[in-house]
Amino acid sequence: MFEVARLVVAAEIAKIHTIEWTTQLLYDEPLNRGMKANWSGVFAKQEVVADALKEVVRRLGDTNDAKKANSLYAALAGGPGIFGLGNHVYEGVPLVGLLDPNKVDRWDLKNDDHINGGVNHFGSPFNFPEEFITVYRLHPLLPDLIEYREWNKEPNVIRQQVPVVETFRGKATEAMRQKGLANWALSMGRQRLGFLTLQNHPQFLQNLKMSRLQSPTQQIDVAALDLIRDRERGVPRYNEFRRQYGLKQLTSFDDFADKHEQDSNERTTQEQLVKTLREVYGQHQCDASKKITEAQLNDDGSPITDCLGHPHGNLIDNIEDVDTVVGWLAEFRRPHGFAISETQFVVFILNASRRLFSDRFFTSSFRPEFYTTLGVDWVMHNGPGPEMMEQGKPNGHEQQVSPLKRVLLRTIPELARELQTVVNVFDPWARDRGEYYSLQWKARAGAEGDEAFGSGQVPSLLAEPPR
């Protein structure tokens, strides 16, 4: 039972990450479709097409032309979805369109090719590359203070500012016991993430006590370590990192500034940060005879040199020295609803898909033989019992009540009222979601008094029930 439960929990975590967390971190329609395609496929409701594509994709995995098969495979897998790929095997289904959905499922527990048939490692053993670690250094998301609330008094009221540093390591268990999971969940559910940008690391991470260290300060600076570790591990610096992923290189620090942002406070801040980058990383007189990369060529086929297209001898920014984390934090222009930058996105999306592609329990072994029927239904329906649907059509789509919301409703039932209006638990709970993919920061009905929305008034305090 433990092993089965472990599979179900792992699949639930992967599902939460794919269709709930990522779709909120990257809050727009293309991403919503993309992540759904990743999990259940764009043709989820058209079983014949989905099954036919599943078969094509499965067979592509067996072909010898690796390069062609890999790209077709990754593209076509969006049809049926990656999750559950190859968990049905039909005989004589050579091509799309020729599928007879009434054919008998030949998937056989004794056949290793069936058990593993849905897995694709794309030519190298599965691992999370160092690049993924780099773009997941999301420490600026963390605040210094948690705005602590209590569910059974007036949730709109921030009762205490609890330093994050008082809530983890040896202090975590005590904090959970003392204040209770419901209050912590409510507090974190209502609080916004920190913005992933430069100069936004929380103070506590920059001065983190480590009493076992034999250093004068006995503390570490995690913001600095985010850069030091990448240097130690040989992760390329920002510009080369982008080139190796096939992205456009930058030729000066000014390229970070958002060209569409004119004469605004935002633009002034960006220019200030660009100036700081220039001070920190400096400039040099460039040498056009020095070739600097094998990863890409200029548009005209010539090698990329130290001058990055500027005339020989010009004073240019030391953009090649910018640390990768600094570079992606400095990408000020982001697509609608994107909390992360383009560079991070490219690495995320490759690894998010690959994590599913490479695991037989997420593909061909997602079967009752391993998960039990209860387990398969649990993963498919986001929890026990029949499918539960969200009210209305959030952003134009009918959708199941999402998996983490089901977990919270089940395990912390005190929060049922608070969660009533929540569609995605990674969206701040008291935010009015407004119209189609709105990013407005406005309180929903009933939370107008919440100080987090900057109203300044706390009428709800007056309405607070006696303690």
Q: Would you tell me which residues interact with ligand HEM (CB under 6 A)?
A: 133, 136-139, 141-142, 164, 168, 222, 225, 229
* Separation between Cα atoms, residue 348 and residue 332, nearest integer Å: 18
- 381 and 375 in contact (C-beta within 8 Å)? no
- 58 and 85 in contact (C-beta within 8 Å)? yes
- Residue 218 Cβ vs ligand HEM, minimum distance, rounded to whole Å: 14
- Residue 135 Cβ vs ligand HEM, minimum distance, rounded to whole Å: 8
- Residue 320 Cβ vs ligand HEM, minimum distance, rounded to whole Å: 23
- Residue 222 Cβ vs ligand HEM, minimum distance, rounded to whole Å: 5
- Residue 371 Cβ vs ligand HEM, minimum distance, rounded to whole Å: 28
Q: CB-wise, 210 or 463, nearer to ligand HEM?
A: 210
- Residue 304 Cβ vs ligand HEM, minimum distance, rounded to whole Å: 30
Q: CB-wise, 208 or 380, nearer to ligand HEM?
A: 208
Q: CB-wise, 7 or 146, nearer to ligand HEM?
A: 146
The count of C-alpha atoms lying within 13 angstroms of the C-alpha of 159, restricted to the half-sphere facing its C-beta, is: 14
Separation in Å, CA 170 to CA 53, 143, 166, 176, 177: 50, 19, 9, 11, 13
The count of C-alpha atoms lying within 13 angstroms of the C-alpha of 7, restricted to the half-sphere facing its C-beta, is: 22
Q: CB-wise, 135 or 182, nearer to ligand HEM?
A: 135
Q: CB-wise, 341 or 364, nearer to ligand HEM?
A: 341
Residue 330 CB burial class (10 angstroms; 0-12, 13-18, ≥19): buried
- Residue 339 Cβ vs ligand HEM, minimum distance, rounded to whole Å: 11
Separation in Å, CA 256 to CA 6, 135, 259, 274, 275: 44, 17, 9, 7, 11
Place of tokens 């995605």: 424
CB atoms within 10 A of CB 383: 21
Query: Measuring CA to CA, which residue among 448, 418, 416, 417 is closest to residue 432?
Result: 448
Q: CB-wise, 4 or 225, nearer to ligand HEM?
A: 225
- Residue 205 Cβ vs ligand HEM, minimum distance, rounded to whole Å: 6
Three-state secondary structure call for residue 357 = helix
Three-state secondary structure call for residue 80 = coil
Q: CB-wise, 128 or 436, nearer to ligand HEM?
A: 128
Query: Measuring CA to CA, which residue among 27, 28, 56 is closest to residue 43?
Result: 56
Q: CB-wise, 15 or 17, nearer to ligand HEM?
A: 17
